[in-house]
């Protein structure tokens, strides 16, 4: 039987190894686009970012990397976000990620990432644990 793992072996060797997703300058327009997308008219977001905005910083790069890791079925399992400081337009946020754990169960893999957000003063502004679920789709199971 051909082995077709949900998560390629190479990623299991990377548990605990941190990499930089990127450095992102926060612009007012990014925050406004976020607030419009969720339909949140709170005037506070004219001067600072809503807490959940954090998960979108580096989100596109994270998503792209995720799809090289879990190539078949992919669902979001959980999000655990801790915020230590507000983020404002002009801040430069460095986002780093690491795989905290990988758990495999029958036809599924639970991969937990730990993502940290640090500002230009090197203050840790937020931390987020994202658990993603990789699964085999029916089509592949029958192959």
Examine residue 108 and tell whether it contacts another protein (CB under 8 A): no
d(CA 51, CA 81): 9
Examine residue 101 and tell whether it contacts another protein (CB under 8 A): no
Give the interface segment with another protein, choosing from 50-58, 87-95, 98-106, 110-118 (CB under 8 A): 50-58
Q: Are 125 and 83 in contact (CB under 8 A)?
A: yes
**In degrees to the nearest 10, what's the CA dihedral of 108, 15, 124, 20?**
-100
The one among 52, 100, 102, 108 contacting another protein by CB under 8 A: 52
The structure tokens listed for 97 are: 């990620």
Examine residue 139 and tell whether it contacts another protein (CB under 8 A): yes
Examine residue 76 and tell whether it contacts another protein (CB under 8 A): yes
What's the half-sphere exposure (Cβ side, CA atoms, 13 Å) at 91? 23
Least separation, in Å, of the C-beta of 1 and another protein? 21
The one among 42, 68, 106, 142 contacting another protein by CB under 8 A: 42
d(CA 25, CA 68): 26
Give the interface segment with another protein, choosing from 9-17, 80-88, 97-105, 117-125 (CB under 8 A): 80-88
d(CA 107, CA 125): 36
Q: Contact residues for another protein (CB under 8 A)?
A: 30, 33-34, 36-40, 42-44, 50-52, 55-56, 58-63, 67, 72-83, 135, 137-139
């Amino acid at each position: 039987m051909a082995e077709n793992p949900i998560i390629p072996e190479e990623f299991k060797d990377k548990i605990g190894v941190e990499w930089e997703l990127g450095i992102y300058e926060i612009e007012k327009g990014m925050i406004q686009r976020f607030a419009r997308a969720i339909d949140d008219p709170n005037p506070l977001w004219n001067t600072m970012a809503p807490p959940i905005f954090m998960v979108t910083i580096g989100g596109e790069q994270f998503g792209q990397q995720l799809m090289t890791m879990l190539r078949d079925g992919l669902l979001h399992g959980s999000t655990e976000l801790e915020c230590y400081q507000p983020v404002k337009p002009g801040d430069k946020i460095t986002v780093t990620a690491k795989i905290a754990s990988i758990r495999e169960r029958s036809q599924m893999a639970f991969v937990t990432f730990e993502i940290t957000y640090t500002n230009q003063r090197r203050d840790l502004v937020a931390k987020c644990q994202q658990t993603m679920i990789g699964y085999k789709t029916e089509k592949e199971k029958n192959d």
